[in-house]
């Protein structure tokens, strides 16, 4: 009878020390991982498409500014052309007037006997006077011809200027056409990207919905498993108590063979979350608070003390607290011990805290800060603190 009772009590201690292990359906976990990957892929695609559109918008803005400059230059050239045309008309009118005056004078000299020039010559008082008047008349007619030639040259210069302006305008019009074509092409490219962004947003939304749905399913499974495991624990406790009352054995309670679990309203996950809040705090040997830093055991002690759970100060002493845990049954908050010494002798020289999903939080060593990192090989033991 005593052996039976002892066996039941030992079984109870094993159940209690193992804690609650909640395992999600592997297929749901795979689906969740894939859905999260899909969300990241969609977000990456959206980011790339938005970068492309931003680049196109930048190019469109620059081309639009160039187009405005070209259009302003065309207006200026047209104004200059209009002014040149007005100058040509005035020059032509001046030439015509001067030409008419010149023709009238020539006609008067060679045709009209009553011309003033003829009268001037006939009224000469001497041969010298005649020669003098003849030279005067020649200079006048030469001046008239020179004036007409000058006006013709001026008109030709204005026409050349107009032709140059027309050529500049034509070049600007060509640039305007090309710029408008470039802007239209960029806008087409931008428009082509919009449906892709809409599709990527749709993919992101769908994948995010799948993640939420899968997380809900996993949470429901976890809750069901947790309830079932707690019920099993309670049943085991009741059976043990019943057998204990019916026996003549004086055993009142049985402690785990290598330590005690702490009853607490806090969970290991809460302790982990608090420890994670110190990620980035520098490692300082012998330090045990965030203002000065943490060493490995100082971080563990500080995190548990926040929830009223007192642990020893060093990793060697912490190795004797709580109960031993199989590495296959780790839960958030479990302590993982490593041989951090250089002599190769196995011993708990370094302690970390299991986070879950194969990760742990630790204050590693001098030169680094508190971090979350994958669990490494070389664990010499694991301990659970909270029931």
pLDDT tens digit sequence for 334-345: 999 987 555 545
Instruction: Using the structure block, give the residue that is written with the tokens 């609650």.
Output: 20
Which position has the higher pLDDT, 26 or 42? 42
Report which of residues 162 and 386 the model is more confident about: 386
pLDDT category of residue 277 using cuts at 50, 70 and 90: very high
**What is the structure's pLDDT at 384?**
96
Q: Which residue has the higher pLDDT, 355 or 212?
A: 355
Indicate whether 300 pLDDT > 90.
Answer: yes
Residues 6+ apart with CB under 8 A from 71: 176
Q: For each of the domains in the chain, give its residue range(s) and CATH number, in order of start.
A: 27-218 (1.10.287), 258-384 (3.90.1720.10)
pLDDT band for position 355 (50/70/90)? very high
Residue range 151-180: mean pLDDT, rounded: 83
**pLDDT tens digits for 87-131?**
878 877 877 787 787 777 666 655 544 455 566 666 767 777 778
CA distance 138 to 365: 114
Higher pLDDT, 54 or 295: 295
Distance, in Å, from the CA atom of 325 to the CA atom of 61, rounded to the nearest integer, reads 65
Q: What percent of the chain has pLDDT over 70?
A: 78
Tokens 């894939």, located at residue? 34
**pLDDT at residue 69, rounded to an integer:** 92
pTM of the model: 0.40
Q: Would you name the residues annotated as active-site residues?
A: 296, 350, 362
């Amino acid at each position: 009878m005593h052996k039976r009772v002892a066996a039941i009590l030992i079984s109870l201690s094993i159940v209690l020390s193992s804690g609650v292990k909640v395992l999600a359906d592997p297929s749901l976990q795979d689906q969740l991982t894939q859905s999260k990957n899909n969300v990241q892929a969609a977000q990456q695609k959206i980011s790339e498409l938005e970068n492309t559109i931003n680049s196109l918008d930048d190019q469109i803005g620059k081309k639009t500014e160039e187009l405005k400059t070209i259009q302003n230059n065309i207006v200026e050239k047209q104004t200059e052309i209009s002014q040149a045309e007005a100058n040509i008309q005035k020059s032509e009118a001046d030439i015509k007037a001067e030409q008419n005056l010149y023709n009238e004078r020539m006609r008067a000299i060679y045709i009209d006997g009553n011309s003033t020039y003829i009268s001037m010559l006939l009224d000469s008082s001497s041969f010298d006077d005649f020669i003098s008047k003849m030279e005067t008349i020649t200079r006048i007619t030469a001046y008239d011809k020179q004036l007409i030639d000058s006006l013709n040259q001026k008109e030709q210069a204005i026409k050349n200027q107009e032709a140059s302006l027309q050529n500049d305008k034509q070049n600007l019009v060509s640039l305007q056409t090309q710029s408008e074509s470039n802007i239209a092409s960029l806008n087409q490219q931008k428009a082509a990207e919009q449906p892709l962004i809409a599709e990527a947003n749709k993919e992101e939304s769908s994948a995010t919905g799948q993640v939420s749905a899968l997380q809900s399913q996993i949470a429901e499974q976890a809750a069901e498993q947790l309830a079932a495991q707690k019920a099993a624990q309670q049943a085991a406790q009741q059976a043990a108590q019943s057998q204990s009352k019916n026996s003549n054995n004086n055993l009142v309670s049985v402690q785990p063979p290598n330590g005690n679990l702490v009853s607490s309203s806090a969970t290991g996950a809460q302790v982990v979350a608090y420890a994670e809040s110190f990620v980035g705090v520098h490692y300082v040997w012998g330090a045990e608070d965030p203002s000065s830093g943490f060493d490995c055991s100082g971080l563990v002690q500080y995190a548990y003390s926040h929830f009223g759970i007192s642990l020893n100060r060093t990793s060697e002493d912490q190795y004797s607290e709580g109960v031993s845990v199989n590495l296959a049954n780790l839960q958030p908050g479990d302590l993982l011990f490593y041989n951090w010494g250089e002599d190769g002798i196995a011993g708990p020289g370094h302690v970390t805290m299991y986070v879950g999903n194969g990760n742990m939080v630790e204050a590693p060593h001098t030169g680094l800060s508190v971090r979350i990192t994958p669990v490494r090989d070389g664990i010499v033991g694991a301990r659970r603190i909270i029931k």
